[in-house]
Structure 1
């Protein structure tokens, strides 16, 4: 008998995949966590019934959270990642030698624990001496660290459960205050097919706080609709002003210097959402 995992992405649509093994199936203090082995996507982490990451396509999301902001900021020495307990964004951040310290704050220590155990190619840099891992509330961490970071990256789940406050205007204001005078922040902002209202709300809120706001996209097949957006807020530096020739070389599978500017070219219906 075959076992299949299905993520119900809307009331009328979902994705499904064949599962060959279940490693963990646990209700943590914050969310329902599963770590499964899938035939098509390899080892996969899900939280509250939503795919967070899989071995086969994880590089797209993690590279696109990290690199556009880090190449836009001229000297990103201190970086904060809120969420992201699987370690993928931290892995990409560590590819930038200008980063002296990266702090990861995830509210659920089980995500970190199981990612280290079952997703070593993703979580492998969490023990890097340049990385500090904190199990705690990212919202409160930001509130207590004014003018502390050059770049802040919000690697959250969709706005359900413990992640709801990470999509609030108050959180974005806190991020602004936690950034230095030329700081940059980036957050995943879901997909335009099913969450158009969310993208519009986030874009409006961030524009009321940051002078430079850019939305960009990527293709991530295991995420709802496959088309995913990210929103960048910057106090000073515009990612569209970055020239491809100035971007240093580092190992990637999706992001490239030429892709940097292209990622900010949105389909017309997405462009209309954020005008």
Structure 2
């Protein structure tokens, strides 16, 4: 008998993966958590029946949400990660030897526990002595820690359920206050094909708060449409002004000095979504 997992990516679009085995299924106080062994993408983490990450394509998302910002900031010492309980973002951050402290705030302990058990390739960064894991509300954390971080990464789920507040103007203003005088932040901002209104709203809001706002993109096959965006808000540094020849080599599969620059080359239909 064939077993398939199906995600309703929009009201009119689904993606299905054939499943070899259900490795874990549970429900936390926040969401349904499952780990599936799929034939196409390997081990896959889903939350509330929405694909979060998998072994086959995870590196694209995790490398882009981290290295673009870390290589834009002149000297990032203290980094905050909100969400991203699978650990992939933390894994990429600790590749940067100049980073002295990573504070990882994840609201759901079950996601962290599942990542440690079923995704050792992603959660390996949790073992780095520079990493502090806090099971807490990221929105509350940024409000309580002003002028603290050089970089903040918002590795959130889609803007539903616990993550809704991570896409609000109030939150972005709290992020601004939590950053040091030359700080910057990066957030995942969904698909230009299926979330165009969100991208317009978010980039407009962030550009009203941060002197530098940039949208950049990558390809993540299991996310709706495959074409995914990230938004950077920066108090000082412009990622387009980075001397890519000075970017140190990293153990990456997607990100590179060339990708750092070309990720900001946007198609005309995406440019139309941005503030004029």
TM-score (norm 1): 0.99
CA displacement, residues 172-224 of structure 1 (integer Å, 9 cap, x when unaligned): 00000000000010000000111000001100110110010000000000001
SS of the residue 1:61 aligns to:
helix
SS of the residue 1:252 aligns to:
coil
| Unmatched 5+ stretches in structure 2 | none
CA displacement, residues 58-81 of structure 1 (integer Å, 9 cap, x when unaligned): 000000000000000011000000
| Unmatched 5+ stretches in structure 1 | none
Matches within 5 A, 1:227-242: 227-242=227-242
Structure 1 distance, partners of 2:103, 2:134, is 7
SS of the residue 1:273 aligns to:
coil
TM-score (norm 2): 0.99
Matches within 5 A, 1:209-248: 209-248=209-248
Give the drift of 1:272: 0.8
Structure 2 distance, partners of 1:98, 1:46, is 33
SS of the residue 2:71 aligns to:
helix
Give the drift of 1:12: 1.1
Give the drift of 1:48: 1.1
Partner of 1:159: 159
Give the drift of 1:23: 1.2
CA displacement, residues 23-80 of structure 1 (integer Å, 9 cap, x when unaligned): 1111110011111100000000001111000000000000000000000001100000
Matches within 5 A, 1:142-157: 142-157=142-157
SS of the residue 2:240 aligns to:
helix
Match status 1:94 vs 2:123:
no
Partner of 1:70: 70
Structure 2 distance, partners of 1:18, 1:228, is 23
SS of the residue 1:33 aligns to:
strand
Structure 1 distance, partners of 2:146, 2:128, is 25
Number of corresponding residues: 275
Partner of 2:197: 197
4+ residue runs over 4 A deviation: none
Structure 2 distance, partners of 1:247, 1:234, is 19
Give the drift of 1:127: 1.7
